Amino acid sequence: MSRFDVLLGDVVIGHTDLEMGDPVKGSALGSLRPTSMYTSTQSIDSSKLLVRLSGTEGEWLNGVVVIDDYSVDIGSNVTAIEVSVTGISHKNFRHFFPAHFAIYERQFNV
């Protein structure tokens, strides 16, 4: 499984494995492990959110990135932040998530 950086502009605000995905919908989601640069989603301009493969400068995951922070609702002792990327092209989904794609192919005999 690949690790991804979540950026707000050019600042890394967290990391995710995007451990769940749907190739048909072109979507992936997972928990966000925030860095010290992360602030609550109320102050995040979602149009500036980007996701890239960790350790790279140019392997960007295309799509719309959304962060849902449930930590306030659950309690301050718990970090419950999800990140999702929708609208991922078929080509990028296959490239970045071969395991998700393999499960889909086996399940539906594609």
pLDDT at 39: 83
Chain-centre distance for alpha carbon 82: 8
CA 72 → CA 22, 78, 79, 105, distances in Å? 28, 9, 9, 38
C-alpha distances out from residue 110 to 66, 86, 103, Å: 29, 22, 10
The encoded tokens of residue 29 equal 């989601």
The amino acid occupying position 92 is N
Q: Do residues 43 and 29 make contact, with C-beta atoms less than 8 angstroms apart?
A: no
Task: Spell out the per-residue pLDDT of the chain, length 110, in tens.
Answer: 789 999 999 999 999 999 999 999 999 999 999 999 998 766 788 899 999 999 998 899 999 999 998 887 766 666 689 999 999 998 999 999 998 888 888 887 76
In this prediction the pTM is 0.87
